C-alpha cells in the first residue's frame, strides 16, 4: 500500500500499535511516581516516548514504511494529530457551557495575560540572543535556532510553522532542531509548575474550586423541546465538531503582501477544533438535533487524546533531541519556558487579581500547553479550568506567531 511516500508494511503497523501500548503502560507507571505530592502524571508518557524515539525510531521507520521514510512526517504524525483532535475537541465541549460567561467576566484579564506571557517569552528569547551571540559564527542561523527554541518552549506548532516559513530556506533545519530541543522542558516545566504553585502557596483547593465554579450559576440551557440524539453517547456530535474544526483550522489569513503565497496565519487543527467544540458545547443543539456528548465520553477522549498526542510528538522528537542536543540550547529553552510562566503568574495574581485556578488555567493557555491543561484538571479536580485555558489560548496563539516573525525580521 502506497502511503507516507513509501510502501506501508502491515507488520510494521502492528509493531507501531504495539509500541503505542508499551509506551502508554510504562509512561503512566512513571507518571504515577509521586515525590512530595508532585508527579509527572500523563507527562510521564511523553518522557517514555522521547526515550523510545531516541532508541527505536529507526526500527519503527524501517518496519512501518519500506525504505525508512522520515518518521516525523509519516505514521506517528497520524497518532499525534488524532490525539490532538480528540483532546482539544473534548476540552472545547467540556468548557463550552461556561466559556462565554467566564470570558465575559474576565475578558480583558485573559487578553492581557496572554499578551504578557508571550511578550515575556519573546523578551527572554532576545535576551538569550545577546547572551550567546558572541559564541555563534552564523548570526542568522543562531536567530533561527532561538526562534525554534521559543516555539518549543511554548510547545507552539503555529509559531514553529511560521518561523520556518519566515527564515531563509537554509535555516529551516535550525528552527526544527531548536523546537525539538526546547520541547521537552516546554512540556514538563509547565506540568510541574501547575502542580507546585498550589503547594508552594498552600492554597485551599476547595475554596479555589468554589471561586472558579461560581460562574456556573444559571448556565444550564433549556430548549423547551425534546431534542433528537443521533446516538446515546454523543459520538456523532463529537465527530461533527472535529470535522468542522478541521475546516475552520485550515482557513489561512495572509500576513504579508504576497497573499497566500507568503506568510499566513491559521488557527490550525488545535485552534479550529477547540473553537468549534466551544460553540457546539455552548449552544448544545442545532435546531432539534442534540449536540450533547456524555461527560464520561469527553473525559475518556480527553485523556486518550492527550496520551496519543504525547506519544506521537515524543517518539518523533526523541530522535531529533539526541541527534542535535546541545546543553546551552537546552538552557536557553528552559529560560524561555520559566520566564513567561513566572511573570505571567505574578501578573495574574497580583496585578489582575485573578483567583488561583483562573490564573493557572489562563497560564496553560498562554503557554499553549495542552499537556499542562490535562494535569491542571487533575490537580484542580474540576473541568472549569478549561474555560480559562480556552479563553487565553487564541490570544497567545496569534501573539506567539507574530512575536516569532518579529524577532526573525528584527535580528
Do 50 and 321 meet the contact criterion of CB atoms below 8 Å apart?
Answer: yes
82 by Cβ neighbours in 10 Å (0-12 / 13-18 / 19+) ranks as middle
Q: Rounded CA gap, 191 and 346, in Å?
A: 18
How many Å separate Cα 297 from the centre of its chain? Answer: 21
What DSSP line would sit under 18-76, residue for residue?
HHHHHHHHHHHHHHH-EETTEE-TTHHHHHHHHHHHHHHHHHHHHHHEET---GGGTHH
Q: Rounded CA gap, 245 and 389, in Å?
A: 18
**Per-residue confidence (pLDDT) for residue 1, from 0 to 100:** 45
Q: How many alpha carbons fall within 13 Å on the CB side of residue 199?
A: 12
Q: Rounded CA gap, 252 and 254, in Å?
A: 6
Q: Rounded CA gap, 389 and 36, in Å?
A: 27
Domain boundaries, the chain: 93-300+325-410
Q: What is the CA radius of gyration of the chain?
A: 21
**Per-residue confidence (pLDDT) for residue 55, from 0 to 100:** 80
**Per-residue confidence (pLDDT) for residue 217, from 0 to 100:** 45
Q: What's the pTM? A: 0.70
**Per-residue confidence (pLDDT) for residue 133, from 0 to 100:** 80
User: Can you read off the three cell numbers belonging to residue 399?
Assistant: 501573539
77 by Cβ neighbours in 10 Å (0-12 / 13-18 / 19+) ranks as middle
**What are the Cα distances from residue 234, in Å, to 196, 223, 252, 295, 301?**
36, 18, 30, 9, 12
What DSSP line would sit under 144-200, residue for residue?
HHHHHHHHHHTT-HHHHHHHHHHS-GGGHHHHHHHHHHHHHHHHHHHHHHHHHHHHH
Q: For the chain, how many residues are written?
A: 411
Q: Rounded CA gap, 356 and 369, in Å?
A: 17
pLDDT tens for the chain, 411 residues: list them.
444 444 455 666 777 788 889 999 999 999 888 887 777 777 788 888 888 887 876 665 555 554 444 444 467 778 888 888 898 898 888 877 777 776 677 778 888 998 999 999 999 999 999 988 877 777 888 888 899 899 888 877 667 766 776 777 777 777 777 877 888 788 888 888 988 998 888 888 888 888 776 654 446 555 566 888 888 888 999 999 999 999 988 887 776 666 555 666 677 777 788 789 888 988 888 888 888 899 889 989 988 988 898 888 778 767 666 666 778 888 999 999 999 999 999 999 899 888 898 899 999 988 888 778 888 888 888 888 888 888 888 788 778 878 887 888 887
CB burial string 232-261: b at 16+ within 10 A, e below: ebbeebbebbbebbbebbeeeeebeeeeee
Phi and psi (nearest 5°) for 256? -140, 170
**Per-residue confidence (pLDDT) for residue 252, from 0 to 100:** 79
**Per-residue confidence (pLDDT) for residue 213, from 0 to 100:** 67
Q: How many alpha carbons fall within 13 Å on the CB side of residue 231?
A: 11
User: Can you read off the three cell numbers belonging to residue 388?
Assistant: 480559562
User: Can you read off the three cell numbers belonging to residue 387?
Assistant: 474555560
Do 389 and 361 meet the contact criterion of CB atoms below 8 Å apart?
Answer: yes
172 by Cβ neighbours in 10 Å (0-12 / 13-18 / 19+) ranks as middle
Amino acid at each position: 500500500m502506497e502511503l507516507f511516500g513509501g510502501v506501508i508494511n502491515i507488520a510494521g503497523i502492528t509493531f507501531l500499535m504495539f509500541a503505542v501500548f508499551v509506551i502508554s503502560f510504562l509512561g503512566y507507571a512513571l507518571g504515577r511516581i509521586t515525590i512530595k505530592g508532585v508527579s509527572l502524571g500523563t507527562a510521564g508518557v511523553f518522557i517514555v516516548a522521547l526515550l523510545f524515539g531516541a532508541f527505536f525510531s529507526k526500527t519503527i521507520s524501517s518496519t512501518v514504511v519500506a525504505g525508512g521514510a522520515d518518521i516525523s512526517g509519516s505514521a506517528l504524525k497520524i497518532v499525534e494529530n488524532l490525539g490532538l483532535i480528540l483532546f482539544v475537541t473534548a476540552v472545547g465541549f467540556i468548557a463550552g457551557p461556561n466559556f462565554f460567561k467566564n470570558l465575559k467576566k474576565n475578558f480583558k484579564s485573559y487578553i492581557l495575560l496572554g499578551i504578557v506571557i508571550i511578550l515575556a517569552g519573546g523578551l527572554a528569547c532576545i535576551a538569550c540572543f545577546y547572551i550567546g551571540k558572541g559564541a555563534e559564527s552564523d548570526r542568522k542561523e543562531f536567530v533561527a535556532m532561538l526562534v525554534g527554541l521559543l516555539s518549543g518552549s511554548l510547545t507552539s506548532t503555529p509559531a514553529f510553522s511560521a518561523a520556518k516559513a519566515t527564515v531563509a530556506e537554509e535555516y529551516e533545519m535550525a528552527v526544527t532542531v531548536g523546537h525539538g530541543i526546547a520541547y521537552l522542558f516546554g512540556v514538563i516545566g509547565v506540568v510541574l509548575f501547575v502542580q507546585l504553585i498550589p503547594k508552594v502557596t498552600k492554597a485551599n483547593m476547595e475554596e479555589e474550586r468554589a471561586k472558579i465554579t461560581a460562574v456556573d450559576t444559571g448556565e444550564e440551557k433549556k430548549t423547551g423541546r425534546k431534542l433528537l440524539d443521533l446516538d446515546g453517547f454523543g459520538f456523532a456530535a463529537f465527530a461533527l465538531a472535529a470535522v468542522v474544526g478541521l475546516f475552520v483550522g485550515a482557513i489561512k489569513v495572509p500576513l504579508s503582501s504576497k497573499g497566500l503565497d507568503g506568510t499566513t496565519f491559521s488557527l490550525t487543527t488545535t485552534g479550529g477544533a477547540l473553537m468549534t467544540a466551544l460553540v457546539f458545547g455552548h449552544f448544545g443543539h442545532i435546531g432539534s438535533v442534540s449536540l450533547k456528548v456524555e461527560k464520561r465520553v469527553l473525559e475518556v477522549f480527553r485523556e486518550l487524546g492527550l496520551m496519543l498526542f504525547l506519544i506521537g510528538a515524543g517518539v518523533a522528537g526523541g530522535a531529533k533531541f539526541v541527534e542535535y542536543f546541545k546543553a546551552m540550547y537546552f538552557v536557553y529553552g528552559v529560560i524561555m519556558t520559566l520566564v513567561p510562566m513566572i511573570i505571567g503568574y505574578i501578573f495574574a495574581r497580583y496585578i489582575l487579581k485573578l483567583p488561583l485556578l483562573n490564573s493557572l488555567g489562563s497560564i496553560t493557555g498562554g503557554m499553549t500547553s495542552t499537556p499542562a491543561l490535562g494535569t491542571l484538571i487533575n490537580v484542580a479536580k474540576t473541568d472549569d479550568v478549561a474555560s480559562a485555558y480556552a479563553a487565553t489560548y487564541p490570544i497567545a496563539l496569534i501573539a506567539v506567531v507574530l512575536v516569532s516573525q518579529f524577532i526573525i525580521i528584527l535580528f
